Structure 1
Amino acid sequence: MTAATLMVQGTTSDAGKSVLVAGLCRCFSRSGMKVAPFKPQNMALNSAVTADGGEIGRAQAVQAQACGLAPSVDMNPVLLKPNSDRGAQVIIQGRAVGNMDAVAYHDYKRIARAAVLESHARLGASFERIVVEGAGSPAEINLREHDIANMGFAEAVDCPVILIADIDRGGVFAHLVGTLALLAPSERARVVGFVINRFRGDPALLKPGLDWLEHETGKPVLGVLPYLHGLHLEAEDAVAVRQTDKPSDALRVIVPRLPRISNHTDLDPLRLHPRVDLRYVFAGEVPPPADLIILPGSKSVRSDLDWLRREGWEPVIARHLRYGGRVIGICGGFQMLGTRILDPSGLEGDPGEGPGLGLLDVETRLAPEKTLANVCGRLRMEDAAVTGYEIHAGRTTGPALEHPAVLLDDVKGERPDGAISDDGRILGTYLHGLFESPPAAAALLRWAGLTVHETPDYRAVREAALERLADSIEQHLDLRHLEQILCGWVPGRGTGAP
């Protein structure tokens, strides 16, 4: 079996590439095809643990769900996790190979490219179709040399490309025509059509522009996708802050928007909960009163903790606890709750160590080998069932661990994770996905003060979103024309389809 490959590239970041790929995956899967998602190179701090024990971008895990598959490392062979303004941890086929700045990674791209093509070939041998997501824009001139994320990949595997643009941002025709103009002739030739995303209003009003675009470029508009209000699919990297209006008696949850926040998708189930008012507090903002403070994951724990202190969070947390509030620390946030954080090898910045918030009697030493695992178990709180995943490089020790927050299933029996303070007001855990399990989410929200017992099933919400997205694509995208293009694609010659 050799898969037909289709690539989705965007005129900008957040044009809708991830969402369109997920939707196309679900559409093709519905039709009975064996389909897999693929992103050659991803730069994101939201990640997931695969069935084969590796780490990939979170968006590709959602796209795998759209295909009815467990995620694998081949779906995102290169993942870059920024840990400073100039450097990132480089993950190749699920495993961290080290930290690199832009210059070092440019030199490393030859190795990364080999991993990308190897993973694509493996998927191609097992599936009928591969739907590929590009990164950023293919017209970023400074990144063109040795590109493996956009047209460099498309040229290497000789696949057709759809170009998507977000009309809600404005300037959609300029985005599309300008992107085409900046491509090389061979790259321009492999763009087989346009998709306009997030349109509001009467499509008839857009038709003169679509006719002009097709005449000007010689490329078809394959579809105009409407703005799907309330659609939720986990963000690749951007922090999603939108939520519906919440009642005045909703549980108030605040989260510091750390500079290197990671896996903030942990908090999406709370943002979507009808009885939880979740707010991110950005730099320079005064934290409002709350029932629960959550310290999220971080890719650079010591520097993010320094940021917390500069922003005045330490006295805010102390006052919050003094008046009976609750605090949860997840992964990096758990490490911040301890007495000390040691990074002797400089895995997340300059080598060194520093004091934690001192709210749990533990200390963390960062080490090169990551813990990567999908896990299940139960909260000590109400004995509630919980599932999730671990992604962390630290080893945490100390007396507070004698009162774990979670007991995880293990081949040797139960394995303790995290800690709960003696007064029961502070909880720390390495478990991501903590709020995705309804029993665990309900128990934690009751602990934090929410009296309502109904907690939505977050996984069902995500599945419903994929179905809604696929319905919209089937209605508004010319899938028959797209199929003709794919069937008519001839390697080395492009498509002969009308």
Structure 2
Amino acid sequence: MPATGVPATLMVQGTTSDAGKSTLVTALCRWLRRQGVAVVPFKPQNMALNSAVTEDGGEIGRAQAVQAQAAGLAPHTDMNPVLLKPNSDTGAQVIIHGRAISSMEAAAYHDYKQVAMDAVLASHRRLSAAYSVVMVEGAGSPAEINLRAGDIANMGFAEAVDCPVILIADIDKGGVFAHLVGTLALLSESEQARIRGFVINRFRGDIALLQPGLDWLERRTGKPVLGVLPYLMDFHLEAEDAIDTRQAAKSGESIRVAVPVLPRISNHTDFDPLRLHPQVELLFVGPGQAIPPADLIILPGSKSVRADLAFLRGQGWSAAIQKHLRYGGKLLGICGGLQMLGQAIDDPSGLEGPPGSSAGLGLLEFSTVLEPEKQLRNVQGRLRLEDAPVSGYEIHAGVSRGAGLNGAVRLDDGRSDGAISADGQVLGTYLHGLFESGAACSALLRWAGLREVQTVDYQALRERDIERLADLVEEHLDTHKLRELCGLA
């Protein structure tokens, strides 16, 4: 427990989206865990289409699942009590304590915020009672004036629980001092007082050249710079929402994998193990781009399957997929991508858009009906390919039925999942995360045409980089001040 015997809460807010909030919270969770401190990650409200299944059978943002790993914990719904999953430009599915309650337009959600805040505070109370330090991640920027009323994601939460805040900015974006000073200026006096220090992220070069700016910033604001984190090369941490297109260096024999980027693509972190694999050239194909010649095309998960399938057809990608199969290429569908492979997708209740039905690609003999009760499971099993062990998670509203569901995966709970075509060219599964299992990833790459596969331990890569982050805290941040902010000094 902290020296005071009272649980502490510390919040990290950012000047912009992608400033480094998730990264710093992950780093601080592992740094504190190394010292034997019982720390837990927390994000009051998250808006993301990348989610994880928790031990209590709900879903939270994947960033919080990674932070839980850094803290040595199993993911729990209290770590992210409010999750918004956009299903249109103006609306989102609202998930409270891991369960989808409704889809709301932005204006309706604004009116719902007090209910959401009650859920946030209830989760925070439970975590504060069980852990010494609650390490909180904000969302976007606290200076987004149009979102200040009823805020539960940034200063609205910090004020409600009376916690200190660290403000982080990304110098790699440019204008770092303007970001920090401008953000501070747009806060109220009480909110400004909550900012106990700044962290500058992703700095490259000689720190001596930055020092005059740091000195000016401290004089101008009266607040300390807690440290400058360097730009890390060869670093991977699962993205909260934006697609990471960086590739690991490729060597020797390799294959090309193409992923069409759908408007509501979900859980694209499925492809991180491929992006980091030394023998996989991973290509994300965006709007207006043609699907290039590839060994494997993967249809990803989707939050709005019927709308994304219509988009896929509108881009001419369905014709490209048919040509790909005629030339012997392999096709894999994951979750929503699996549903697209079937004969029809029915949404009678309008769960993902206007009620209706859409014809699927017709490559496998089954149909899918979207039902209100979402399927949320962490699962283990074996691929039919090479009987390779696999683990993953299911997050889907669709229930698929039909003779073609011959089981691409045999699950340990006695169920079978997905399908594989008679000619072996088309495979579909509801399992997210299947490439994180080394044996399953290797089996799928051999199926796609790679003869000699190098086995990559994705879990070890993630653990390595979490440790690197904790090292940076020790080397580059004011750890005495951090311990004080955590109630430990």
SS at match of 1:481: helix
Aligned counterparts of 1:348 and 1:384: Cα–Cα separation in 2: 34
Task: Give 2:378's match in structure 1, choosing from 351, 374, 378.
Answer: 374
Q: What is the CA distance between 1:481 and its match in structure 2? A: 1.7
Aligned counterparts of 1:486 and 1:57: Cα–Cα separation in 2: 24
Instruction: Name the aligned partner's letter for residue 442 of structure 2.
Output: A
Alignment of 1:480 onto 2:480 = yes
Alignment of 1:188 onto 2:192 = yes
Instruction: Give 1:404's aligned residue.
Output: 407
Instruction: Name the aligned partner's letter for residue 184 of structure 2.
Output: L
Aligned counterparts of 2:229 and 2:265: Cα–Cα separation in 1: 31
Q: Kindly indicate whether the alpha-carbon contact (under 8 Å) linking 1:10 and 1:136 is maintained by their aligned counterparts in 2.
A: yes
Q: Kindly indicate whether the alpha-carbon contact (under 8 Å) linking 1:193 and 1:220 is maintained by their aligned counterparts in 2.
A: yes
Instruction: Give 1:471's aligned residue.
Output: 471
Q: Kindly indicate whether the alpha-carbon contact (under 8 Å) linking 1:2 and 1:126 is maintained by their aligned counterparts in 2.
A: no
Instruction: Name the aligned partner's letter for residue 326 of structure 2.
Output: R
Which structure 2 residues correspond to residues 399-438 of structure 1 after superposition, within 5 A? 399-401=403-405, 403-410=406-413, 414-438=414-438
Task: Give 2:178's match in structure 1, choosing from 174, 181, 196.
Answer: 174
The Cα offsets for residues 21-42 of structure 1, whole Å up to 9 and x where unpaired, read as: 0000000000110000000000
Alignment of 1:217 onto 2:255 = no
Aligned counterparts of 1:3 and 1:430: Cα–Cα separation in 2: 40
SS at match of 2:226: strand
Aligned counterparts of 2:90 and 2:421: Cα–Cα separation in 1: 37
The Cα offsets for residues 10-57 of structure 1, whole Å up to 9 and x where unpaired, read as: 000000000000000000000110000000000000000000100000
Instruction: Give 1:105's aligned residue.
Output: 109
Q: What is the CA distance between 1:219 and its match in structure 2? A: 0.4
Instruction: Give 1:456's aligned residue.
Output: 456
Q: What is the CA distance between 1:2 and its match in structure 2? A: 4.4
Aligned counterparts of 1:103 and 1:225: Cα–Cα separation in 2: 38
Instruction: Give 1:307's aligned residue.
Output: 311
Instruction: Name the aligned partner's letter for residue 416 of structure 1.
Output: S
Aligned counterparts of 1:485 and 1:399: Cα–Cα separation in 2: 59
Q: Which runs of 5+ in 1 are unaligned?
A: 489-496
Instruction: Give 1:56's aligned residue.
Output: 60
Aligned counterparts of 1:398 and 1:343: Cα–Cα separation in 2: 17
Aligned counterparts of 1:372 and 1:351: Cα–Cα separation in 2: 23
Cα distance change on mapping 1:487 and 1:34 into 2, 3 Å: closer
Q: Kindly indicate whether the alpha-carbon contact (under 8 Å) linking 2:20 and 2:201 is maintained by their aligned counterparts in 1.
A: yes
The Cα offsets for residues 135-177 of structure 1, whole Å up to 9 and x where unpaired, read as: 0000000100110000000000000000000000000000000
Alignment of 1:331 onto 2:335 = yes
Aligned counterparts of 1:357 and 1:469: Cα–Cα separation in 2: 44
Which structure 2 residues correspond to residues 86-125 of structure 1 after superposition, within 5 A? 86-125=90-129
Aligned counterparts of 1:69 and 1:172: Cα–Cα separation in 2: 34
Alignment of 1:256 onto 2:266 = no
Alignment of 1:355 onto 2:359 = yes
The Cα offsets for residues 110-140 of structure 1, whole Å up to 9 and x where unpaired, read as: 1100000000000000000011000000000
SS at match of 1:381: coil
Alignment of 1:160 onto 2:152 = no
The Cα offsets for residues 181-203 of structure 1, whole Å up to 9 and x where unpaired, read as: 00000000010000000000000
Q: What is the CA distance between 1:248 and its match in structure 2? A: 6.8
Aligned counterparts of 2:251 and 2:455: Cα–Cα separation in 1: 15
SS at match of 2:404: helix
Q: Kindly indicate whether the alpha-carbon contact (under 8 Å) linking 2:86 and 2:93 is maintained by their aligned counterparts in 1.
A: yes
Which structure 2 residues correspond to residues 293-304 of structure 1 after superposition, within 5 A? 293-304=297-308
SS at match of 1:399: coil
Q: How many residues align structurally?
A: 485
The Cα offsets for residues 357-385 of structure 1, whole Å up to 9 and x where unpaired, read as: 11111110001100000000100111110
Q: Kindly indicate whether the alpha-carbon contact (under 8 Å) linking 2:169 and 2:200 is maintained by their aligned counterparts in 1.
A: yes
Aligned counterparts of 1:442 and 1:487: Cα–Cα separation in 2: 46
Q: Which runs of 5+ in 2 are unaligned?
A: none
Instruction: Give 1:394's aligned residue.
Output: 398
Aligned counterparts of 2:121 and 2:411: Cα–Cα separation in 1: 37
TM-score by length of 1: 0.96
Aligned counterparts of 1:420 and 1:487: Cα–Cα separation in 2: 55
Alignment of 1:68 onto 2:59 = no
Instruction: Give 2:272's aligned residue.
Output: 268
Instruction: Name the aligned partner's letter for residue 390 of structure 1.
Output: E
The Cα offsets for residues 382-414 of structure 1, whole Å up to 9 and x where unpaired, read as: 11100000000000011111x21001011xxx2
SS at match of 2:199: strand
Identical pairs, percent: 70
SS at match of 1:232: coil
Q: Kindly indicate whether the alpha-carbon contact (under 8 Å) linking 2:255 and 2:280 is maintained by their aligned counterparts in 1.
A: yes
The Cα offsets for residues 68-117 of structure 1, whole Å up to 9 and x where unpaired, read as: 00000000000000000010000000000010001111111111000000
Q: Kindly indicate whether the alpha-carbon contact (under 8 Å) linking 1:2 and 1:125 is maintained by their aligned counterparts in 2.
A: no
Aligned counterparts of 2:271 and 2:234: Cα–Cα separation in 1: 16
SS at match of 2:22: helix
Instruction: Name the aligned partner's letter for residue 54 of structure 1.
Output: G
Instruction: Give 2:444's aligned residue.
Output: 444
Cα distance change on mapping 1:150 and 1:471 into 2, 3 Å: same
Q: Kindly indicate whether the alpha-carbon contact (under 8 Å) linking 1:2 and 1:124 is maintained by their aligned counterparts in 2.
A: no
Q: What is the CA distance between 1:285 and its match in structure 2? A: 1.1
Aligned counterparts of 1:345 and 1:267: Cα–Cα separation in 2: 31
Instruction: Name the aligned partner's letter for residue 133 of structure 2.
Output: R
Q: C-alpha root-mean-square deviation of aligned residues, in Å?
A: 1.1
Q: What is the CA distance between 1:250 and its match in structure 2? A: 1.2
Aligned counterparts of 1:444 and 1:457: Cα–Cα separation in 2: 15
The Cα offsets for residues 233-287 of structure 1, whole Å up to 9 and x where unpaired, read as: 1000001111134247411000001110000001100000000111100001121
Q: Kindly indicate whether the alpha-carbon contact (under 8 Å) linking 1:160 and 1:486 is maintained by their aligned counterparts in 2.
A: no
TM-score by length of 2: 0.98
Aligned counterparts of 1:430 and 1:255: Cα–Cα separation in 2: 17
Instruction: Name the aligned partner's letter for residue 67 of structure 2.
Output: Q
Which structure 2 residues correspond to residues 270-289 of structure 1 after superposition, within 5 A? 270-289=274-293
Cα distance change on mapping 1:2 and 1:399 into 2, 3 Å: farther
Q: Which moved more, 1:438-447 or 1:248-257?
A: 248-257
Which structure 2 residues correspond to residues 17-96 of structure 1 after superposition, within 5 A? 17-96=21-100
Aligned counterparts of 2:484 and 2:438: Cα–Cα separation in 1: 44
